[in-house]
Amino acid sequence: MQTLHIHFDSRNYLYQKALATQNISQTTTANAFSLPALDKPFSWNATGKPIFFSDRLSQARFKLFRALLKKGQNVLSLNSDSQKWQELAHYKRHGYSIRQNKTPGNLAYKELVDEQTGILYLATIGDDLSVPDFQKVIRFAQDRGIKVIVDNTAGAEGILFDPIVWGADYVLSNLLHWHPDIKTQGHVVVRTSSLIIGDGWGDQSPYKKQKAGESRVIPLPTASFWRENPNEVARIKNKLAVTLQLAKWFQLAALTTAVVYPGLPTHPDHFNTLKFFRNGYGNQFFWSLEGQHHTYDKLQQQFIGVPVPGVKITAVPGKAVFKIEVRDGNLKEITDALQRAFALVSNAIGNKQRQDQEAQKLSDQIRLSFENDTIKKITASDF
């Protein structure tokens, strides 16, 4: 009996060294593939399905779309930010079009599908923090023979969510989302629902006929990437737990107008998060201060000058909204730093208000003095 193992070395962020070993009863070991075999512009397995590493999400997406689409076909994206993709112009030059469902959370995307739709693309958590009903979307695509690609960057490679379990054909993940200090190349990973292991599988063309019995199919659940790395799993689970607690903390803050986070019952897609996610609800949320633009501007300056440790705070253009991304798991350090920032801004606003009041008082005194002098002059002239 043969036991096949997929192992990714945790010492270099799990993917720096990729090893697949086949352990036979006689205790002999044979390498099935190594990182150099994957470190090519594109690597094909025996059935023509790609699995590869990339340095940018846009690069990986472009390679995958080119491999799966024919000229004249289109991609239907359920992501609100797909019109901002860096590689968008390249698709047009190659004869592909990108359609975007501009009404997240409803079934309007079905009306955008036609006979030329080859790919349905969606994210674990959308740019607007929406969470789709993956089961319905994937079933709809499968019934029409459309490939489903999921950007699982926010899914922590299966710790939060594993799209393959629900039938996704291809999954993209970006390790930079969970390892901001990563220095290695190939931090974007594209996987399929199964990995074909065979002699020299990395050199095989999808058009070359394979000999019977040459390859073996290994189910590749996302969790296998983390099985040998319990410390990484614990660290990310803790980060997810801290994000939920921090979102609740912001809800109670006096400055808060609203908090948008899939883990809160007030989120419109909260039911989907309960249905599909595990160990948490993502590490990002929106914090709104609508109607308090002066305070928002002061906080923006404060966060730029004195960053809050453990979180990345980004101002959303055109709105009094901050995007909060949790990067560390120490809730007390984060909230203490935020309290200090709030106090400094509150004092600055209070001082400014006092200065404005004193300036207004002085202005009123000058005006009254001028009016009194004018009245005296007029009265004196009458006599």
Identity at 43, one-letter amino acid code: S
Residue 286 has pLDDT above 50, yes or no: yes
Are 18 and 165 members of one domain? yes
Are 69 and 54 members of one domain? yes
Burial of 11 per CB tally in 10 Å (0-12, 13-18, 19+) = exposed
Are 162 and 141 members of one domain? yes
Are 215 and 176 members of one domain? yes
How many C-beta atoms lie closer than 10 Å to residue 152's C-beta? 27
pLDDT tens digits along 18-34: 333 333 222 222 222 23
Which residue carries 């190939």 as its tokens?
Answer: 186
Are 219 and 295 members of one domain? no
CA 376 to chain centre: 72
Phi, psi values for residue 328, rounded to 5°: -135, 160
Are 180 and 319 members of one domain? no
Short-list 111, 136, 134, CA closest to 123? 134
The domain boundary residue, chosen from 175, 202, 228: 228
β-sheet bridge partners, residue 314: 323
Q: CB under 8 Å to 377, separation ≥6 — which residues? A: none
Residue scoring higher pLDDT (341 or 181):
341
Report yes or no on 330 lying in a domain. yes
Are 29 and 133 members of one domain? yes
**Is the CA virtual torsion 79, 84, 87, 93 positive or negative?**
positive
Report yes or no on 249 lying in a domain. yes
Are 189 and 267 members of one domain? no
Which CATH number does the domain housing residue 257 bear? 3.90.1150.10
Most confident by average pLDDT, 3-12, 115-124, 345-354, 374-383? 115-124
Question: Looking at the 3D structure of the chain, how many domains does it have?
Answer: 2
Which CATH number does the domain housing residue 83 bear? 3.40.640.10
- Whole-angstrom distance, CA of residue 182 vs CA of residue 174: 11
Report yes or no on 375 lying in a domain. no
Are 154 and 48 members of one domain? yes
Going from the C-alpha of 82 to that of each of 61, 128, 332, 344, 382, the distances in angstroms are 11, 12, 36, 38, 78
Most confident by average pLDDT, 28-42, 113-127, 205-219? 113-127
Report yes or no on 374 lying in a domain. no
Q: According to the model, what pLDDT value does residue 287 have? A: 96
Place 136 in a pLDDT band, splitting at 50, 70 and 90.
very high
Average pLDDT over residues 257-272: 95
The domain boundary residue, chosen from 207, 228, 249: 228
Q: According to the model, what pLDDT value does residue 369 have? A: 60
Residue 331 has pLDDT above 90, yes or no: yes
- Whole-angstrom distance, CA of residue 101 vs CA of residue 89: 19
Are 242 and 122 members of one domain? no
> Which contacts (CB < 8 Å, 24+ apart) does range 267-270 have?
267/129, 268/105, 268/130, 269/105, 269/130, 269/131, 269/132
- Indicate the SS3 state at residue 233: helix
- State both tokens at 96: 């592909």
Are 222 and 238 members of one domain? no
Report yes or no on 77 lying in a domain. yes
Q: According to the model, what pLDDT value does residue 157 have? A: 72
The domain boundary residue, chosen from 173, 197, 228: 228
Lowest mean pLDDT among 272-276, 279-283, 376-380: 376-380
* Structural domain of 276: 231-345
Are 308 and 206 members of one domain? no
Task: Give percent of the chain above pLDDT 70.
Answer: 61
Report yes or no on 365 lying in a domain. no
